[in-house]
Amino acid sequence: MSSHKLKVLVERSIFESNSEKVKKYLEELKELADVEAIDPYASRDEWLSKIKDVIAIINRKAKLDKEILQHANYLRLIARTGVGVDETRIDLDEAKRRGIIITYNPGVNSPSVVELTFLLALALMRKLTRIYDLVKGGKWVEAQGILGWELYGKTMGIIGLGNIGKRVARVAKAFEMRVIGYDPYVIEKPAEVDEMAELRSLLSISDVVTLHIPLTKETKGLIGRKELLLMKKNAIIINTSRGGIIDEEALYEALVNKTIAGAGLDVLSVEPPLETNPLLKLENVIITPHIGGVTAEAFERGAENAILEVMRFLKGEPLKNVFKY
């Protein structure tokens, strides 16, 4: 390496954070390494230039694909600020082949994701965006005539019962909802859930279906045309996990044909979406730009923990949360 110190690359939003805690830990990191900022959406040439002599990256939004990793001759650690470790952020086959350690932050953004899940559900059930547009357009009386639905007494089907899924279940119980869970990796029914069900059964009886699973080879396209046809016509589906789990072409058809009532999507298969994505034009869809874990509190927790993992690595100390390939 050209520098007298080891080099660490940090995404710009963290590098320029106003959080006093994040600033403090960054200053401590700078005592151990040269720290440089990069825009996660920087040009390919900039990434390939900056990555070549980096030993660690603090990764939040950037896509570290095969070509980038192949130019990272000294890279030994990718410290994720978030919960997810999957192909939407890192080429895992290439990272594994190169012996790169990946750390992550289980549970760091759970409260934020859970709150957005219910924000989307409530907005869809109460037809909030339609009502808001009418009021802004001077159609107050017409807006008053739109009837939404309560969460009270409805059935919520939760796909994935990890930290976030169980938190969603607890909040759903506060709304006095019946909670059904599906997770092939959970053997015993969690206390937060009323009953466990197979996927087909969950889809057919739920009024609100919400996804809280990682994107893997097994979950890609998990919700497709056949699955959407099982859902109630007044049901809605929420995805705050990863794009690609829902077949978007099938979802578009289901929404246009009124097979289901609506969808709340914080994630898409391609982010940012192409202008031609037909989901963007539908009234019964609410799309947010992958901000489930993007609150001031979650950002601060994730950035702190990622910086601490890099410092542990540079000091030769045990790492706290290492991803298992």
As annotated, the active-site residues are 242, 271, 290
Report the distance separating Cα 265 and Cα 65, nearest Å. Answer: 24
Please, what is the angle between helix 20-30 and helix 296-315, to 10°?
20
Amino acid at 53: D
- 325 Cβ partners below 8 Å, 6+ apart? 92, 95, 96
Single-letter residue type at 179: V
On whether the CB atoms of residues 198 and 228 are closer than 8 A, the answer is no
Q: Which residue has the tokens 């996990």?
A: 241
Query: Where is 51: in which H helix or E strand?
Result: helix 44-51
Query: β-strands 56-59, 101-103: how paired?
Result: unpaired
- Token pair listed for 148: 């939404």
- ∠ Cα 203 207 208 (to 5°): 85
Give the number of other CB atoms < 10 A from CB of residue 87: 16
Strand partners, 39: none
DSSP 253-322: HHHHTTSSSEEEES--SSSSPPTT-GGGG-TTEEE--S-TT-SHHHHHHHHHHHHHHHHHHHHTPPPSSB
Contact assessment for residue 68 and residue 89, using Cβ atoms and an 8 Å cutoff: no
